[in-house]
């Protein structure tokens, strides 16, 4: 398998050095438009910045290798995000026994008010959810609808709906807790 | 803020100026890395799916994503009667892919029977609620191995929202599950084991005699030092002073003085009634003396409580050396001999010097015991046992009390321990059998009586005859008699014990094991000896109502006994909660202060002159059972 893909890649290189440059440019544009989306998604689902960087670059390397195909997708972003998610899951699997890293707060944004506060709430909420639910909600927080979430995470649409309902319940608990803490 | 507010707010992302520069850098980096891997022959794309997720139907997408994550899937569609499973799921189930045809019946037969209901419930719940559920179940593989599998169960819908099937994504979680179970087990175990073995007397806060003897035993093997034993009974004992509450307070106050002078490095213990031990490690008789004298002076000088009670303190000091083999019980005995000497001479302290030889010590101890027996310095008490089913008193245990120097009946634990140690327990046991059966024979014999016999005495071949004769002579109904074997540790020879037990049962009496569960009472006794009753040791009962671990032990023990046809009794029952628990576990008899205190047995028909009981006031009944409370 390995030799096969290398061989294919080499042939591709020999055949089309000119085309290569063009592809790079559209990839750069893609990255410019979407890198932040993918990264933010990964940050929301994983508290370990090292793993986030690794998953992101792994996904982009595959995208670089198969950009010809990926760029033809209806939503190349979805594919990259999906691939990054799988890469992250694989990385998490390898490092399962390692200690949970300290949860990081989102960096303060230029306008600190409601948007930053929302992000903070979101991160707190996400940390209380199991991985699959967390990923689903992180995508929702990036503006995806249920079908889009289901497509990217390999879930059923009904599952996404269920996850959102759970998240709503958890958020209520969280808010109630925060209120009691403040009172106490 | 509601979830929708949060989602709306967080989705607004404005691209920044930085993005462009960063994108170029990222693109360059991944380009470099791509070519590096290409050159190194690293596989890049074999573990990704290049298909557009938007173009796949739901079932296909879930199956593909499971494959990528090395998970298995089982799917069922409304339109098909049978299920399908993926190659990976086939592997999880223990079949090479493609070897067996997927089918409902095969799948169900592989799920552990105990897990089938929960799997069925979760599948139904997912279908009913149109939402994801999770389940962990055990899978029995064809090779006989069992593994844990975790599944997400999802309902697949058409674009119009109509459900068309169910798909389960499964992963082998055997290792994870086992690790979780081990974590749970450790957590449970951490809560069920005593934090440490140190046992303190609840009233004085000093070490119990047993633990003090342990400390002493350790010191005896490792170095030299001295042991001080102080007898400190209340100076004047007016009849109105009677009551354990007052004694307790005196003991506690005395213990306080002891501790304050002795210091934290010297273990202090309550070795008997009003008797305290202080272990002064690495001292000699000379270097220990100032501290010893200070302790005695303080005890004698202090006026305890407002009622002006004073303590009469006599100390006995002995020296130990690891090169002279001595046991802790022997050293305690020496120190006790020494304070008795002090008391005889009416001096605060007597130093036993040199230490008596083993043979001398043994002789002194034996002589003491024989004198006690011959002088009839014993009395018998009876403590009721309640039948928990009938909820009435149906039995009594005959308890021995030793009369101390001033004629008070005291718990005989120390005395018996010594008698066991110097092999004089048989004399005591025979006295008890004679006197107890005599008293029982004189009564109406409406109860069932339990009499204690040391495991050590069983070795005497004539003991059985002794019992037979006593039964005949005093006309005791043998069926109303149970012989409780105490100090089961001293059962040296199982064959002899078995012969004794068989013999006792042939007489019509029953056999019980006392203090079961502590010391050396192996569970094998339950099957090797024809035991009728097991008396669960009081240490399991005292804190039963508040201790889950003790409840587990007692409940299990009672079940075991019942299946073997062995009755069970619990001693040290102190409250109703414990009684209720014991009843629930099916314990047959309960004993303890809450059931009834030991009372002096008095002859019913022919009073005193025929019974060799010394005359002394009936009250106070001494708290405590045969062994120390």
Query: How far from A121 is each of A104, A128, A166, B11, CA to CA, in Å?
Result: 13, 11, 16, 14
Task: Find chain B residues with C-beta within 8 A of A151's C-beta.
Answer: 53-54, 61
pLDDT, mean of each 10-residue run, chain B (629 residues): 82 69 84 88 80 83 89 91 92 91 92 95 92 93 93 90 91 92 92 80 85 90 91 64 64 85 87 89 90 88 63 88 85 89 90 82 86 89 95 94 80 84 89 94 90 91 94 95 86 88 95 88 91 94 92 96 96 94 96 92 50 37 40
Chain B: give the shortest CA distance to residue A102, in Å: 22
Q: Which two tokens stand for residue B431?
A: 């006295």
- Which chain B residue has the Cα nearest residue A91? B69
Average pLDDT value for residue range A8-31:
61
Paired residues of B383 in beta bridges:
B397
CB contact under 8 A, A158 and B132: yes
Strand, helix or coil for residue A89: helix
Cross-strand partners of B382: B398, B599
pLDDT of residue B409: 82
Nearest to B24 among A6, A28, A161 (CB): A28
Q: How many CB atoms lie within 10 A of CB B289?
A: 17
Q: What fold is seen in the domain B197-356?
A: Alpha-Beta Plaits (3.30.70)
Residues of A in contact with B68 (CB under 8 A): 86, 154
pLDDT of residue A16: 47
Whether residues B45 and A66 touch (CB distance < 8 A) is answered with: yes
Contact A158 B155 (CB under 8 A): yes
Interface probe with A: pick from B23, B125, B128, B176, most Cβ of A within 10 Å: B23
A7: pLDDT strictly greater than 90? no
Give every CB contact of residue B534 below 8 A, 6+ residues apart in sequence: B512, B513, B516, B526, B557, B561, B566, B567, B568, B569
Q: How close B159 gets to chain A, by Cα (Å)?
A: 9
Contact B46 A2 (CB under 8 A): yes
What is residue B389's predicted lDDT score, i.e. its pLDDT? 93
Mean of all residue pLDDT scores within chain A: 79
CB contact under 8 A, A141 and B66: no
Residue B318 has a pLDDT of 92
* Chain A residue numbers touching B130 (CB-CB < 8 A): 158, 161
* CATH architecture assigned to B53-180: 2-Layer Sandwich (3.30)
Q: Answer yes or no: do B6 and A125 touch at CB < 8 A.
A: yes
User: Do A82 and B1 lie within an 8 Å CB cutoff?
Assistant: no
**Would you list the domain boundaries of chain B?**
12-44, 53-180, 197-356, 379-623
Sorted by where each starts, the structural domains of chain A and their CATH numbers stand as 34-183 (1.20.140)
Number of neighbours of residue A2 by Cβ within 10 angstroms? 11
* ipTM associated with this complex: 0.79
SS3 A33: helix
pLDDT value of residue B277: 93
A24 to chain B: which residues are within 8 Å by CB? 27, 31
The model carries a pTM of: 0.70
CB contact under 8 A, B58 and A167: no
Please list the residues that pair with A90 across neighbouring strands: none
The fold adopted by the segment(s) B379-623 is TIM Barrel (3.20.20)
Average of per-residue pLDDT across A154-170:
90
């Amino acid at each position: 398998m390995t030799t096969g893909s290398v061989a294919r890649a080499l042939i591709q290189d020999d055949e089309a050095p000119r085309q290569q440059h063009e592809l790079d440019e559209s990839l750069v544009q893609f990255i410019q438009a979407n890198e932040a989306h993918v990264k933010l998604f990964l940050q929301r689902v994983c508290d370990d910045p090292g793993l986030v960087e690794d998953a992101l670059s792994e996904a982009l390397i595959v995208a670089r290798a198969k950009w010809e195909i990926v760029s033809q997708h209806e939503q190349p972003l979805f594919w990259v995000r999906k691939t990054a998610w799988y890469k992250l899951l694989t990385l998490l699997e390898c490092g399962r026994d390692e200690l949970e890293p300290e949860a990081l707060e989102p960096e303060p944004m230029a306008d600190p008010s409601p948007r930053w506060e929302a992000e903070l709430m979101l991160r707190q909420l996400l940390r209380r959810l199991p991985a699959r639910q967390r990923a689903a909600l992180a995508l929702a927080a990036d503006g995806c609808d249920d079908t889009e979430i289901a497509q990217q995470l390999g879930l059923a649409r009904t599952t996404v709906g269920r996850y959102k309902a759970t998240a709503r319940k958890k958020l209520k608990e969280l808010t109630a807790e925060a209120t009691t803490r403040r009172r106490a | 803020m509601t979830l929708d507010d949060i989602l709306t707010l967080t989705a607004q992302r404005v691209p920044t100026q930085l993005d462009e520069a960063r994108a170029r850098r990222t693109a360059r980096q991944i380009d470099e890395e791509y070519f590096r891997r290409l050159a190194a022959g690293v596989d890049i794309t074999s573990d990704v799916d290049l298909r557009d997720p938007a173009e796949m139907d739901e079932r296909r997408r879930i199956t593909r994503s499971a494959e990528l994550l090395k998970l298995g899937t089982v799917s069922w569609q409304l339109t098909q009667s049978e299920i399908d499973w993926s190659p990976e799921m086939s592997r999880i189930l223990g079949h090479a892919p493609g070897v067996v045809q997927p089918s409902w019946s095969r799948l169900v037969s592989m799920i552990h029977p105990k897990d089938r209901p929960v799997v069925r419930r979760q599948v139904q719940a997912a279908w009913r609620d149109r939402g994801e559920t999770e389940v962990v179940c055990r899978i029995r593989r064809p090779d006989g191995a069992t593994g844990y599998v975790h599944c997400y169960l999802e309902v697949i819908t058409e674009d119009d929202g109509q459900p068309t099937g169910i798909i389960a994504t499964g992963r082998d979680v055997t290792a994870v599950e086992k690790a979780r179970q081990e974590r749970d087990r450790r957590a449970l175990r951490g809560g069920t084991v005593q934090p440490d073995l140190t046992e303190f007397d609840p009233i004085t806060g000093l070490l119990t005699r047993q633990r003090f003897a342990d400390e002493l035993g350790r010191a005896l093997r490792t170095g030299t030092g001295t042991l001080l034993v102080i007898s400190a009974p209340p100076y004047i004992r007016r009849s109105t002073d009677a009551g354990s509450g007052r004694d307790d307070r005196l003991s506690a106050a005395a213990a306080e003085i002891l501790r304050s002078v002795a210091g934290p490095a010297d273990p202090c213990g309550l070795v008997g009634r009003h008797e305290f031990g202080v272990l002064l490690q690495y001292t000699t008789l000379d270097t220990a003396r100032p501290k010893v004298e200070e302790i005695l002076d303080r005890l004698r000088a202090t006026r305890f409580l407002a009622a002006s009670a004073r303590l009469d303190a006599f100390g006995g000091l002995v020296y130990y050396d690891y090169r002279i083999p001595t046991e802790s019980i022997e050293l305690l005995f020496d120190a006790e001999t020494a304070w008795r000497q002090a008391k005889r001479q009416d001096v605060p302290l007597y130093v036993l010097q040199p230490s008596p030889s083993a043979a001398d010590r043994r002789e002194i101890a034996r002589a003491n015991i024989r004198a006690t027996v011959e002088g009839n310095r014993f009395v018998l008490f009876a403590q009721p046992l309640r039948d928990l089913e009938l909820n009435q008193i149906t039995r009594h245990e005959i308890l021995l009390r030793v009369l101390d120097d001033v004629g008070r009946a005291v718990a005989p634990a120390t005395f018996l321990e010594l008698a066991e140690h110097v092999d004089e327990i048989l004399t005591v046991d025979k006295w008890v059998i004679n006197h107890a059966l005599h008293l029982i024979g004189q009564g109406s014999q409406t109860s069932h009586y339990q009499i204690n016999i040391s495991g050590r005495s069983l070795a005497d071949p004539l003991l059985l005859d002794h019992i037979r004769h006593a039964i005949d002579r005093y006309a005791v109904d043998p069926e109303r008699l149970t012989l409780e074997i105490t100090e089961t540790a001293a059962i040296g020879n199982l064959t002899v014990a078995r012969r004794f037990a068989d013999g006792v049962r042939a007489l019509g009496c029953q056999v019980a094991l006392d203090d079961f569960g502590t010391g050396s009472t192996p569970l094998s006794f339950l099957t090797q000896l024809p035991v009728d009753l097991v008396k669960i040791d009081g240490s399991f009962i005292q804190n039963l109502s508040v201790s889950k671990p003790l409840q587990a032990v007692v409940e299990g023990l009672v079940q075991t006994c019942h299946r073997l046809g062995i009755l069970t009794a619990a001693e040290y029952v102190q409250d109703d909660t414990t009684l209720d628990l014991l009843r629930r576990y099916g314990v047959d008899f309960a004993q303890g202060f809450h059931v009834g205190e030991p009372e002096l047995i008095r002859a019913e028909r022919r009073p005193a002159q025929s019974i060799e009981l010394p005359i002394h006031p009936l009250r106070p009944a001494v708290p405590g059972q045969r062994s120390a409370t």
